[in-house]
């Protein structure tokens, strides 16, 4: 722990560290065997929610939709129109199912960060954003190779520039297209969820730490908890934004692979 750890209180673990993200397992209870923790439970519940919701909404589809069907269709329509078709063009409709699944999965997983009993998002463990970024990475490279063949490398790596700058530009393009893209997709989602959870931890635990300390600091704990509530609203905006950004960037990378070569 860093310096001023034991200044305020002995009971409350303040300041929070990375260790607070390693939750104890649920079965067997309390140990740290890492097999079945709250994170695993939230992951399974997210998948169940998504599957059940979309199956039930489309159970008896009518031409004039009921309210539940309209809600599910709005979600799919938003991703298909504003993200897939806007970014990729007419061919975007092919990718709309994947992008909708991606968007709703990331949204539900992120939302656990502010839901009262769960309060941690599985996306604050780097593993889940890594897998999602890998799937998008393999997808846009596969789409590029399927459309252009081996000439996809020329399309992706050689920008329209004078020949004497190309030895400098091609390694930069390679690094930015094939190495930085999946890395930054994963890190962006992970860091937003990690930082959001850490902020809420700091202000919540800080409030408890201040109440347990001397009597002059106790009223300031109310300010700390008010800050927690304000940050929860900010976190809600960040959650939706990060789901949208991940999907929009995936669509943009797919569009970059589908562009006509020159």
Partner 1 sequence: MTLAEVVGSTAAIGYGLAAIGPGVGVGLVFAAYIQSTARQPEAARITQPFLWIGFAVVEVLALLGIVFGFVWANPAG
List interacting residues with partner 1 (CB under 8 A). Answer: 1-3, 17-18, 82, 86-87, 184, 187-188, 190-192, 194-195, 198, 241-242, 244-245, 248-249, 252
Distance CA 232, CA 211 (A): 21
Q: What's the residue count for the chain?
A: 262
- Minimal distance, residue 36 CB to partner 1, in Å: 25
**Cα–chain-centroid distance for residue 107?**
7
- Minimal distance, residue 105 CB to partner 1, in Å: 18
Asked if residue 106 lies in contact with residue 132, where contact means CB atoms within 8 angstroms, the answer is yes
User: Under 8 Å CB-to-CB from 85, ≥6 apart: which residues?
Assistant: 92, 93, 96
Per DSSP, 25 falls in state: B
- Minimal distance, residue 64 CB to partner 1, in Å: 28
Distance CA 189, CA 108 (A): 13
CB-nearer residue toward partner 1: 49 or 187: 187
CB-nearer residue toward partner 1: 112 or 246: 246
CA angle 61, 67, 72 (to 5 degrees): 65
CB-nearer residue toward partner 1: 2 or 214: 2
CB-nearer residue toward partner 1: 147 or 188: 188
CB-nearer residue toward partner 1: 82 or 119: 82
- Minimal distance, residue 60 CB to partner 1, in Å: 35
- Minimal distance, residue 192 CB to partner 1, in Å: 6
Q: Hey, what are 202's tokens?
A: 């700091």
């Amino acid at each position: 722990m860093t310096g001023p750890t034991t200044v305020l209180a002995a009971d409350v673990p303040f300041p929070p560290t990375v260790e607070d993200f390693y939750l104890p397992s649920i079965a067997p209870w309390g140990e740290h065997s890492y097999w079945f923790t709250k994170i695993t439970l939230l992951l399974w519940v997210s998948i169940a929610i998504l599957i059940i919701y979309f199956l039930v909404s489309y159970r008896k589809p009518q031409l004039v939709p009921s309210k539940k069907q309209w809600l599910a269709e709005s979600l799919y329509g938003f991703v298909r129109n504003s993200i897939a078709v806007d970014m990729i063009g007419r061919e975007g409709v092919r990718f709309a199912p994947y992008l909708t699944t991606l968007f709703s999965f990331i949204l539900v997983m992120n939302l656990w960060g502010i839901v009262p009993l769960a309060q941690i998002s599985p996306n604050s463990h780097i593993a889940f954003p890594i897998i999602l970024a890998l799937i998008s990475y393999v997808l846009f490279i596969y789409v590029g190779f399927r459309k252009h063949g081996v000439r996809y490398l020329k399309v992706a790596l050689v920008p329209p520039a004078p020949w004497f700058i190309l030895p400098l530009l091609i390694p930069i393009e390679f690094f930015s297209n094939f190495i930085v893209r999946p890395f930054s997709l994963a890190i962006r989602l992970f860091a937003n969820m990690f930082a959001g959870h850490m902020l809420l931890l700091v202000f919540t635990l800080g409030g408890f730490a201040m109440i347990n300390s001397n009597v002059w600091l106790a009223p300031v704990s109310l300010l700390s908890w008010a800050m927690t509530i304000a940050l929860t609203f900010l976190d809600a905006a960040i959650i939706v934004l990060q789901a949208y950004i991940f999907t929009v960037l995936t669509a943009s990378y797919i569009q970059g692979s589908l562009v006509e070569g020159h």
